A and B are shown apart, each in its own frame.
Chain A
Amino acid sequence: EIVLTQSPGTLSLSPGERATLSCRASQSISSSYLAWYQQKPGQAPRLLIYGASGRATDIPDRFSGSGSGTDFTLTISRLEPEDFAVYYCQQYGSSPWTFGQGTKVEIK
């Protein structure tokens, strides 16, 4: 099973700042099969990024993904008030399909 470790656990930033979230895998993820999701309190997760860098439908271009192998990054170029949430990475290169433990982006 591929274990995903996200860092930091919590990121305290102000609106307008840049957020950089990390996701590290315990083994290489084939074909960059990595996705990112955003979850707000009381809501279902929402797909942001697939294939490490592909933006999902209707996702603003301030969200971008990068990386390959075992190291992946989600960047939010300028935080908007609605971006404060928990973010999860997920690998789908091999079963079982696993998630990281999440990074909370909170208002500083």
Chain B
Amino acid sequence: QVQLVESGGGVVQPGGSLRLSCAASGFTFSSYGMHWVRQAPGKGLEWVAFIRHDESNKYYADSVKGRFTISRDNSKNTLYLQMNGLRAEDTAVYYCAKDPGCCRYFDYWGQGTLVTVSS
């Protein structure tokens, strides 16, 4: 069965950096695009970034463009999100989510990792 396990969340000061990881199993990771989606406390869902299966294209929400970088290591079945220049408004649970391959929705989700940006 598909499993996605995020890690790397924590408390960081404004302006700081953090790298999130998502370990994938139960499917051929190298064949599917992957996303990061976040949810601020008590708020709705916001798509953050997408990477194609072969890293040929990457897409970002305007709110994180230039500060966040999505990447993957297909040899390790792992997705990453490098977050720099963190702001208070980046505080959220960050989910990794699998793309079905054809279209940009989210057919499987991890349990999420909490990032708190606070001084």
Given the complex, which residues of B lie within 8 Å of A72, measured CB to CB?
none
The size bracket of the interface on A is 20 to 34
Q: How far is the CA of A95 from the CA of B62 in the complex (A)?
A: 11
Are A44 and B104 neighbours in the complex by a CB distance under 8 Å? no
Given the complex, which residues of A lie within 8 Å of B16, measured CB to CB?
none
Q: How far is the CA of A35 from the CA of B111 in the complex (A)?
A: 20
The segment from B24-32, B42-50, B79-87 that touches chain A is: B42-50
Given the complex, which residues of A lie within 8 Å of B110, measured CB to CB?
44
- Counting residue pairs across A and B whose Cβ atoms lie within 8 Å, the total is 57
Q: How far is the CA of A45 from the CA of B59 in the complex (A)?
A: 21
Q: How far is the CA of A33 from the CA of B110 in the complex (A)?
A: 23
The size bracket of the interface on B is 20 to 34
Chain B contact residues: helix, strand, loop or mixed: loop
Chain A contact residues: helix, strand, loop or mixed: loop
Contact partner, A101, options B44, B103, B104, B105, Cβ 8 Å:
B44
Given the complex, which residues of A lie within 8 Å of B105, measured CB to CB?
33, 35, 47, 50, 90, 92, 97
Q: How far is the CA of A50 from the CA of B106 in the complex (A)?
A: 9
Q: CB-defined interface of A52-85 with B at 8 Å, one 1/0 digit per residue?
A: 0000100000000000000000000000000000
Q: How far is the CA of A81 from the CA of B49 in the complex (A)?
A: 34
Q: Does A46 contact B (CB under 8 A)?
A: yes
Q: How far is the CA of A44 from the CA of B93 in the complex (A)?
A: 10
Enumerate B37-57 residues with CB–CB distance to A below 8 Å: 44-47, 50
Given the complex, which residues of B lie within 8 Å of A50, measured CB to CB?
100, 103, 105, 107
Q: Which B residue sits closest to A44, measured CB to CB?
A: B109
Question: What are 25 inter-chain pairs, A to B, with CB distance below 8 A?
Answer: A33-B104, A33-B105, A35-B105, A35-B106, A43-B111, A44-B109, A44-B112, A45-B45, A45-B95, A47-B107, A47-B108, A51-B103, A90-B45, A90-B105, A90-B106, A92-B103, A92-B104, A92-B105, A95-B59, A96-B61, A97-B105, A98-B47, A99-B44, A99-B45, A102-B45
A contact set with B: CB distance below 8 Å: 33, 35, 37, 39, 43-47, 50-51, 56, 88, 90, 92, 95-102
